[in-house]
Structure 1
């Protein structure tokens, strides 16, 4: 069930974003479009509630419980930037990035990783250690995410300067 909820949240996020852009720029309903785009954190909140309800009712956490925790926090931390990027792109604005943006995105990655770890730890407390294999798995993955992020950023910046 967590798989379906996570997919539904992702689809709803993009539907709100695309519909918001259409309302803002095609139908000239700027406020309604902005409201729709700003509603995306509500989707994450609903998924978070479902995450903990699902954990409290089941005996064991599944792979998708851990993935959902990761997805929720990264969506919240990076969602505003994604929405702003899409909004600028659709409106014809500049979307350039540089070293300052790389540092900012790395800082956001660290923040998101800490938040995801917190959700996972709370999930472990709700489920109990015996039923938390996949939450612990994702906790380990989250611990290594900033290092991987940093490495990919360095590799991409070196590749761009060639």
Structure 2
């Protein structure tokens, strides 16, 4: 059942976000748009409440509980960026806004961009792990929370792999391709 709540929350995130952007750019309802966009994080609270209720009800923690923690961590760390990304594209498409900026492709600018993204991933990891550890402490039964320990390891491995991008862009910055010399 918790998996269905996670799917519903993901759908709810996009529905509330798109409703907020449509109110802003298509209907020109600025206040309504602001209210809807402020409500986007409420989706995370619904998921958090569903997870807590499920675990307090005696359910053994499983894959879905770990996924819920990872989802909330991602949403906390990357939610603002996703909203900004969607807002820029919606403004460009429907309100004559400027072309949305793209991430830098080369050099240290790209390395800085990758470090910023890694920083968000580290925040997502920290929030997710805090939620997992909180759930483990709340349940207080190692047998019922074994799956959550596995999620702690999984998320740490993902963060470790993610660190390779900024490290490699810092050590070996990507350079633009040189045009081939054409002889006449």
Give the TM-score, by structure 2 length: 0.79
Contact residue 16 and residue 37 of structure 1 kept, 8 A: yes
Structure 1: give runs of 5+ residues left out of the alignment: none
Equivalent position of 2:82 in the other structure: 82
* Conserved? CA contact 2:73–2:126, under 8 Å: no
Q: 1:138 aligns with which of 145, 151, 174?
A: 151
Please give the alpha-carbon distance, in whole angstroms, between the structure 1 residues aligned to 2:168 and 2:14: 29
Q: Show CA shifts across 1:23-74 (max 9, x none).
A: 1111111221222122111110121121111111124101100000000111
Following the alignment from structure 1 to structure 2, what is the Cα–Cα distance between the partners of residues 161 and 2?
A: 47
The residue matched to 2:41 in structure 1 has which SS? helix
Structure 1: 4+ residue segments shifted above 3 A: 152-162
Q: What is the CA–CA distance in structure 2 between the aligned matches of 1:20 and 1:160, rounded to whole Å?
A: 39
How many residues are aligned here? 162
2:43 alignment counterpart:
43
Larger radius of gyration: 2
Q: Deviations over 1:106-140 (max 9, x none)?
A: 10111110111111011111222111122111111
Tell me which of 92, 103, 121 is aligned to 1:97. 103
Cα RMSD after superposing both structures: 2.1
8 Å Cα contact 2:17-2:36 kept in structure 1: yes
| CA shift in 2, pair 1:35/1:140, >3 Å | same
| Bigger helix fraction | 1
1:108 to 120, 124, 128: 120
- SS of residue matched to 2:143: helix
Aligned 8 A contact 1:20 1:34 in 2:
yes
